[in-house]
Amino acid sequence: MSRDRALVLQALIALIWGVHWVVAKVGLGYVPPFSYAALRVAVAVVAMAILLGAQGRIRRPPRHDLPVLLAVGLGQMAAQIAAMNLALLVLPAGRSAILVFTMPLWVALIQIVVLHRPPGSRELLGLALGLSGVALLVSPASLPTVTPAVAVGIAMLLAAAIIWASTLLLVRSHRWEASTLDLTLWELLVAFIPLAVLALAVEGGRSIEWGLPAIAVILYSGLLATAFAYWASQSIQRALPPAMAAIGFLAVPVVGLVSGALLLGEPVGIVDLAAAVITLTGIGVVLLQGGRGASVPRPGSVPAPEPEPAGPPQPVP
């Protein structure tokens, strides 16, 4: 793929993932959160099975990859999607997108505090900016309402970002025997099982308001925001330099913030804008520092055997 086509694809995926925060928030008005999550993953499983089956690539995963495969499926997929859906019940879509995309900040912090990696000066600057922005995002001054449910929603999104960061560090230390694309179907299946169990156990008595809106949001989430977006992120990382691909992913929360304001009428005040700019600037500095040598994984990146590009599925947005 040429660089120009990759840039067009990156713009498309930023639009799909960014708008998906709005789509998911609307969809939760028709489908309960765990049921929505299970149906989204189920649609993605079918799509990936058709894609891989057509290429003759449905293979049993190697035993060596199973522990990390389970971590990706349960942590990066199931836990994140569930946390996203539950938080969107009480939080604006735009703010939620930014909070989840703070993942690079937590990667850097885990490496510095837990793995004892010496930080670079630019990385420290990025962390200071990013965490200051996060503090503004969750401060009462920037929140329309402050309730226990809102606080829990914020905590769930930050936990999802930390789980995402931890999973990426785990898979970066793993030597894969199978390609990431071939493992995607199995990771989605691992994610589907607990989400389906939760949907039946917690929401068994709640009905889905079936109709065109519910079907549309489920298909958007499963086909576009999960199956297609994963394939597209793989193609982007093959064609673009790491730093360019990493910074390009920061357009996702920007699109989420703008689409939340335009499509849902979510209020965006001066404090909100300042918090978003400071947070995303800090994340950008950390990612650029990673491109200069610090091992900060890019959104969606996981080492894989050649010729597959680095990148596990990114189902959260």
pLDDT tens digits for range 154-202 = 999 999 999 988 888 887 777 877 777 778 899 999 999 999 999 999 9
Q: What pLDDT is attached to residue 241? A: 67
Cα separations (Å) of 284 from 112, 129, 160, 161, 315? 18, 10, 20, 16, 21
Task: Report pLDDT digits (tens) over 209-238.
Answer: 999 999 999 999 999 999 888 777 767 766
**CB-based contact 317:97 (threshold 8 Å):** yes
Residues 93 and 24 sit within 8 Å (Cβ to Cβ): yes
pLDDT at res. 251: 86
Residues 189 and 272: their CA atoms lie apart, in Å, by 37
Please report, for the chain, the start and end positions of each structural domain, with discontinuous segments joined by +: 3-291
Residues of the chain with pLDDT under 50: 292-315
225 and 20 in contact (C-beta within 8 Å)? Answer: yes
How far is the CA of 139 from the CAs of 153, 256, 271, 278, in angstroms? 13, 20, 10, 14
Closest Cα partner for 183 from 295, 78, 81, 305? 305
Summary count for the chain: helices (H), strands (E): 14, 0
* pLDDT, position 78: 92
Specify the pLDDT at position 300. 42
